[in-house]
């Protein structure tokens, strides 16, 4: 569920990079730091991770370097000067920060940035950066939504195993997330509209539609962006992504593909013409997919007599084939199941731009995409609209 939410502080570089290196300088002063402390700056230069270090003298330190485009960076203070590798081991034992970690995530951009604070970089202020000001602004607007999402996650975690398996519980939880996703979309759209020249708008645009992006949502907002943003490498990459989305937009003819079923026989999507078919991307190892399967089973049995079927496409790997077959049997998935057993490199998933699962596309008898990303009650309501109430 966390993929529904755009948490800017965790943004990693996802765009291609410009060819011209741009210089940056980061100056910092932490007034209450003494001793042999050291600072570490971690960021990406193109596809390569860079870790730079600087000694802290009288609370002051400085970094100089080059970047290709604005990029997310992390600044760490090693108060005991134990060395970067040991610092990470001690302060990020499980991948997440411990209470002793002292770090700051921010956008590194060309020009001069000044970071000031007292005894902790985590609580320091950043000056001289419009991108970081915009980032702070948007994070504040999204905080309430993120807090609501955290509350739903906590409620779900506290529910009994029986409750979590219940289709009614899952549908109710999904409905809550759908409401929050719409709230998020509204905040992001408003930000992009009022900040068309901000680099943060370029990043926000990639999250407007949540896990099921639609060109109809994204392209009008892209057209509002400044010429500089559109001509940046990130802007060009986003335009290419939007053009690719049009291939699976609602109303488009569903791209055809063929993969082997669980018995090793080839199955082509176009062979289902004449029926409504739900192309359902999932995997045996995907918890949310397995939780959603009972709902798909219920709706398959409800509507299969009215010209509806399902084509399951698994993102399992070759070594996971036994688990895939077991999941089909254990979850009662009696419809056609296919996979090329290439995991996330599944050709059908790549053709449909699948970035997270579960994901699905509802295709009409003429082979047109009529809906996508439907789960729980949303799928039931759409099928009822198309096939009639049962």
CA distance 153 to 147: 10
Query: How open is the CA angle 19-247-381, to the nearest 5 degrees?
Result: 130
380, pLDDT greater than 50: yes
5, pLDDT greater than 50: no
Helix, strand or coil, per DSSP, at residue 4: helix
Joined together, the tokens standing for residue 348 give 């059908």
Give mean pLDDT, residues 65-89: 91
Closest CA to 363 of 342, 386, 346, 341: 386
For residue range 290-333, list pLDDT tens digits in order: 989 999 999 999 999 999 999 999 999 999 999 999 999 999 99
Domains of the chain: 10-128 (2.60.40.10), 132-248 (no CATH), 258-387 (3.40.30.10)
Joined together, the tokens standing for residue 249 give 């937009």
For residue range 161-172, list pLDDT tens digits in order: 888 878 788 888
Say how far residue 374 (Cα) sits from the centre of its chain: 17
Give mean pLDDT, residues 132-152: 93
8, pLDDT greater than 80: no
For residue range 30-39, list pLDDT tens digits in order: 999 877 899 9
CB 108 within 8 Å of CB 13:
no
Q: pLDDT band for position 10 (50/70/90)? A: very low
Sheet containing strand 22-30, edge to edge, reads 60-67, 22-30, 111-117, 125-127
pLDDT for the residue numbered 65? 94
Q: Please give the mean pLDDT across all residues of the chain.
A: 89
CA distance 291 to 110: 46
pLDDT for the residue numbered 20? 67
Joined together, the tokens standing for residue 190 give 């408003």
Which of 25-34, 61-70, 179-188, 306-315 is the most confident on average? 306-315
pLDDT for the residue numbered 237? 84
For residue 44, list its beta bridge partners.
49
271, pLDDT greater than 70: yes
CA distance 180 to 192: 18
Which of 29-33, 83-87, 252-256 is the most confident on average? 252-256
Q: The pTM is what?
A: 0.70
Q: pLDDT band for position 11 (50/70/90)? A: very low
Q: How many CB atoms lie within 10 A of CB 103?
A: 17
Q: For 213-265, where are the alpha helices, taking DSSP H only?
A: 215-222, 227-231, 233-245
pLDDT for the residue numbered 352? 93
pLDDT for the residue numbered 169? 85
Q: Does a cis peptide bond (omega within 30 degrees of 0) precede residue 358?
A: yes
Closest CA to 232 of 193, 194, 205: 205
pLDDT for the residue numbered 210? 65
Classify strands 336-338 and 308-314 as parallel, antiparallel or unpaired: parallel
In this structure, of 10-19, 21-30, 282-291, the range with the lowest mean pLDDT score is: 10-19
Give mean pLDDT, residues 104-130: 92
Closest CA to 55 of 30, 23, 22, 92: 30
End-to-end CA distance of the chain: 30
106, pLDDT greater than 90: yes
CA distance 53 to 42: 9
For residue range 333-372, list pLDDT tens digits in order: 999 999 999 999 999 999 998 988 999 999 999 999 999 9
Joined together, the tokens standing for residue 102 give 């002292």
Q: pLDDT band for position 390 (50/70/90)? A: low
Sheet containing strand 38-45, edge to edge, reads 48-55, 38-45, 71-78, 103-108
């Amino acid at each position: 569920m966390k993929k529904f939410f755009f948490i800017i502080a965790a943004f990693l570089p996802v765009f291609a990079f410009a060819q011209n290196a741009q210089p940056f300088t980061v100056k910092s002063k932490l007034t209450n730091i003494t001793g042999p402390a050291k600072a570490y700056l971690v960021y990406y230069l193109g596809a390569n991770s860079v870790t730079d270090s600087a000694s802290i003298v009288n609370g002051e330190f400085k970094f100089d370097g080059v970047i290709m485009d604005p990029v997310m960076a992390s600044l760490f203070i090693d108060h005991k000067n134990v060395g970067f590798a040991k610092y990470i081991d001690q302060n990020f034992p499980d991948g997440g920060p411990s209470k002793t970690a002292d770090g700051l995530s921010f956008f590194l951009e060309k020009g001069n940035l000044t970071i000031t604070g007292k005894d902790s970089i985590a609580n320091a202020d950043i000056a001289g950066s419009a991108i970081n000001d915009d980032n702070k602004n948007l994070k504040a607007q999204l905080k309430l939504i993120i807090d609501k999402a955290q509350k739903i996650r906590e409620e779900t975690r506290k529910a009994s195993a029986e409750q979590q398996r219940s289709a009614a519980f899952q549908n109710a939880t999904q409905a809550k997330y759908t409401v929050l996703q719409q709230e998020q979309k509204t905040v992001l759209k408003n930000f992009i509209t009022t900040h068309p020249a901000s680099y943060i708008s370029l990043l926000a645009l990639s999250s407007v539609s949540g896990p099921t992006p639609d060109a109809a949502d994204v392209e009008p907002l892209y057209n509002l962006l400044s010429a500089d943003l559109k001509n940046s490498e990130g802007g060009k990459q986003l335009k290419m992504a939007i053009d690719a989305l049009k291939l699976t937009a609602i109303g488009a003819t569903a791209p055809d593909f063929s993969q082997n079923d669980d018995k090793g026989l080839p199955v082509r999507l176009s062979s289902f013409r004449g029926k409504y078919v739900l192309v359902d991307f999932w995997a045996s190892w995907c918890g949310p997919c397995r939780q959603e399967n009972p709902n798909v089973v219920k709706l398959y049995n409800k509507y299969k007599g009215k010209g509806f079927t399902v084509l399951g496409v698994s993102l399992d790997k070759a070594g996971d084939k036994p688990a895939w077959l077991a999941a089909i049997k254990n979850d009662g998935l009696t419809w056609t199941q296919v996979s090329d057993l290439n995991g996330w490199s599944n050709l059908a998933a790549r053709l449909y731009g699948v970035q997270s699962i579960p994901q699905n596309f509802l295709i009409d008898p003429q082979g047109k995409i009529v809906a996508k990303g439907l789960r729980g009650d949303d799928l039931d309501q759409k099928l009822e609209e198309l096939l009639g109430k049962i």
